[in-house]
Chains A and B, each alone.
Chain A
C-alpha cells in the first residue's frame, strides 16, 4: 500500500501519545528548578492601592517575590498586538499597555498581580496567600452592549472602544436595503467560549550566565514568533540570546498562539534568580487567563429582490475583546470575519461595521475558526430565517443564491477573491447522505414518540492557508505569514524535515512524511520531522488558521523540488547522461530510453561521499531549504446538515444525525482529515448546545471549572457521515486547502437551524447559543403561553 499522498496511514506519533510517552513542557525538569505561582486579581476592575510582599518574601522556601514595579524597573515591556486596523474616523486601533505584572490597576479576574517563586510549588502557593493586595474597586464592565458608556478601563481607550472598523460599500448596501422588496433582520450572539486545550499552558525558563542566554520551553503553537516577541519587543535583547522550544503540545485551538504574561515573567525572573523556573497552569487558572474565543453580537440585514435573490447585506457587529488586546484579537472580528460575509453566495453589495470593545473580562482572541465561525453563524442563521420568511425550502433558497461554478475566480464585495469552488454538488451530496428528501417521514415518526425532529443546513466557506504576507500586511498584520521548510537527506538516504509549522495534535509527523514519501519514493519510516525549536528550525509562523499544510506543506514541496533537482544533476553525472534525460520516478533516477538507473539512496551517498562527483558545478551534500509565501488564501467550503430531536418535556436536544460534505481540495491523509472534521463538529456542537463562559455582573467568572463549564462528551455526538468533493486549490502545488477549522465553522448554525426547524410548529422562531435544555424548555413554554393568549 502506498504511504504517500492520499493514503490513510496511521499516525507516526500516536504510539507515544497513546502510551503516555508524549513529552510535554511540564514533563521536563531542570536541576535546581524553582516553581512560580501567580497572585491573581480576584476582582474584575480596581486600582491597586498597595501590595505588601514582606511576609511572603520571608516565608519558607521562597526565593523571590516580584510585582509590576520590578517589571517596570527592569524596563520589560508587555505582549504586543500583532495586527491592527484603521478606524472609520481615520484614527488607529487603540493599543493600551499590557503589563506582564499589573502596573497600578487590575482589569479582570485572573489578572497577574505578583509572582512568588519558591523551592516547591506548595511553598510558592503558601507564600502567595501572604501577599497582601489592597484594592480600590471600580465598577466591572461586563455587559458588551453597555460597554461604551461604562467606566473607562484604559485611559488610552476612550469609550472602551479599541477600534471602530468598516469594510465594504455602505452607500450601495444601504441603497440595496432601501430598494429591496424584503429585508430580513436578525440579531444573533456568538457565545463566549473557553478554549480548554487538554494540556494547560506551562513554561520552563532558564538562564545561562556563561552564554548570557535564555532557554524557554513553553506550550506554543508558534515558538519562533514567541521568541521574536519576547526578545525584540518585550526584553529588547538580541534575538539570538533566547531559544524557545515548544515540545509536544497537547492542543491549543488558537489559545497557544500568543505570548502570555506567565512565560515572559518566568523567563525574565530566571535571570534575576539565576535558576530555572517552572510554571504550569491548573485548570481554573486556564479558565481565567487563557484567551477566550468568540463573544460577538451581530445585527444582520439581508435584502432580497422579488425573485428571492440576495441584493445586499449589512452587518453591524460589536465584539468583546476583553481587558487587553491579545496578539491577534483585532484581526479576528475584522479581516477574518468581515471578509467572509459573502459566504458561498453571490451578493452584489455588502457593508459591515465592527466595534471592538474593552471589558473587564479575560482577553479574547482566535479560537478554532477565529472570526469565520462568527461570520458563518450569522449568515447561515439569516439564510434560514429568510427562507422561512419567504416560505422556501432552505436548501433551494441557498442554491438560488450560490456563486455559480463558472463565476470563479469570484471577487466578493468584501476584499477576498475565491480562486475555485463548486457549491451545488456539496449540497447535493450532503442531502443525499442524510436522505433529506425523506425527512418529513422521520419527523412524523418522531412526533409519534412525542419528539420534535428538525433538520438544519449550513453551507459555509472559510479562508484558510493564512496568508499572503503582502495582503496581510496591507490589511494591518505586523508579521509575514509565509512558512519555511528544510529537507536534510542523510548519507544513507534517510530524511529529516524541518518545518516552521508546529503540530499541537494535527499529525504533522505523519502528513509531512507522506509528502516526502510521495515525492521521493522513500518509505515513511525513513522520514522524521523536527519542529518547535527555534535553535533547530528556520524562522516560521507556526500552526493556526488551517495553514500548516497549505503553506508549510507547500514550502516543503518547494524544498523537495530543490532536492530532486540537485539529485538529478548528481544522477546525470553518475550515469554519464545529460540532466535533461534524467527522469525521477518511484524513488529511482533513470536515463530516458535506457536501463540505466540509480536509487535515491545511491544519490544521497554520492552527495556525502563525493569521490565521483561534479565538484566544478555542484556542492557536496544534499540539504535544501525553501520559504513559501502563498499567493492567495485557500477557500475550503462545504455543506453540513444536522438532524436533531427535541424532547419537549425536558428541552433536551439530541443530535441524531449528521452529514458533512466538505471540499478541502486534495487530501494528504483522509483518516487524519476525517478526524479533524469530527473534532471540529464536536467543538461546534459544544458551542451550539453546551459551552458558555459566564461572568456575573461583578466580572466574576462563574464557569471556571468543569462543574459549570460544559464540554462536549462522546455521548453528546452522533456518528458523523463524512464525505468530500474536490476542487483543488489552484495556487499551491499540493492543491490543498486546509481542514482543521471547518467543522467548528460549519456546525453551530446547522444545529440551531435544526432546533428552530424542529420547534417551528410550536411557533419558536429564535434560539440562542448554547441551546441548553433549560433554554429550549423555556422557549417551548413561552411559545405555548403566547399561543394560549
Chain B
C-alpha cells in the first residue's frame, strides 16, 4: 500500500521545517488527537480517538521522528495500541523542496500503514481508504494552519 501526495506552500523551507517540529502544530494536525506530550527530541506520547463509521477506539502510543535531515525532511511515525481493536501504525516520509526563488516550498509525503488484530481481521476493506484519509487530514490541516498563519501575518 502506497499513499503519496504533495502540497505547495508559499513559505520558505525553514518556516515549514520549523512547523514540522512544533508539537502544537502537530497536535492540531493529527486527526482526533487528544493528547500529545514531548518525551524527547524525537519522541512524543500521543493519544488519539479514532472514529471510523460506528467504530470509535482510543489509541495510545507514540509519535517518533527519524531520518531527520533538517530542513529537508524526516520520517514521522505514529503507532498506537487500540486495546481490543488491535494496533495501528503509519509512517510518513516527508520531503521539503524549496523553489528556486525561495518563495515557496513543496511538501511531499509518502505513507505506509500497518494494522494489527481485529481492525485487520474485520476491516480490511477500509484500511487503505482510511490510511489515505488520515494522511490527507493530517497534511491537509498542517498545511492549512501554516497558510492561515501566513495570512494573519
Contact = CB atoms under 8 A, between A and B. Distances in A.
- Direct contact between A and B in the complex (CB less than 8 angstroms)? yes
Contacts of A701: 120-121
- In this complex, the member of A42, A703, A704, A708 whose beta carbon has the largest number of chain B beta carbons within 10 angstroms is A42
The secondary structure that dominates the A interface is: loop
Contacts of B115: 700
A707 B87 contact: no
Interface string A700-733: 1111110110000000000000000000000000
B121 A702 contact: yes
Contact of B114 (A284, A698, A704, A705): A698
A701 B115 CA distance: 11
B86 interface: yes
B153 interface: no
Contacts of B84: 129
A708 B116 contact: no
A131 to B, nearest CB: 11
Contact of B122 (A109, A696, A698, A707): A707
- In this complex, the member of B87, B117, B120, B121 whose beta carbon has the largest number of chain A beta carbons within 10 angstroms is B121
A42 B116 contact: yes
Contact of B116 (A287, A698, A705): A698
B121 A705 contact: yes
A129 B83 contact: yes
Interface residues of B, number: 14
Contact of A708 (B87, B114, B124): B124
A109 B86 CA distance: 11
Interface string A674-711: 00000000000000000000001010111111011000
A42 B87 contact: yes
B126 to A, nearest CB: 10
A198 B84 CA distance: 25
Given A42-B86, A42-B87, A703 B116 contact: no
Interface in A490-514: none
A624 B133 CA distance: 72
B124 A703 contact: yes
Interface string A560-572: 0000000000000
B116 A700 contact: yes
B125 interface: yes
A288 interface: yes
Contacts of B120: 696, 700-702, 704
Contacts of B118: 42, 284
A698 B112 CA distance: 13
Nearest to B114: A698
A529 to B, nearest CB: 39
A43 interface: yes
B114 A707 contact: no
A287 to B, nearest CB: 7
Contacts of A707: 122, 124-125
B121 A288 contact: yes
Contact of B121 (A43, A129, A287, A698): A287
Given A284-B122, A700-B115, A704-B120, 14 more contacts: A42-B86, A42-B116, A42-B118, A109-B116, A109-B117, A129-B83, A284-B121, A698-B114, A701-B120, A703-B124, A704-B121, A707-B122, A707-B124, A707-B125
Interface of A: 42-43, 109, 129, 284, 287-288, 696, 698, 700-705, 707-708
A-B pairs with lowest CB-CB distance, top 7: A704-B121, A42-B117, A700-B120, A702-B124, A42-B116, A705-B122, A129-B84
23 contacts: A42-B116, A42-B118, A109-B116, A109-B117, A129-B84, A284-B121, A284-B122, A287-B121, A696-B120, A698-B116, A700-B117, A700-B120, A701-B120, A701-B121, A702-B124, A703-B124, A704-B120, A705-B121, A705-B122, A707-B122, A707-B124, A708-B124, A708-B125
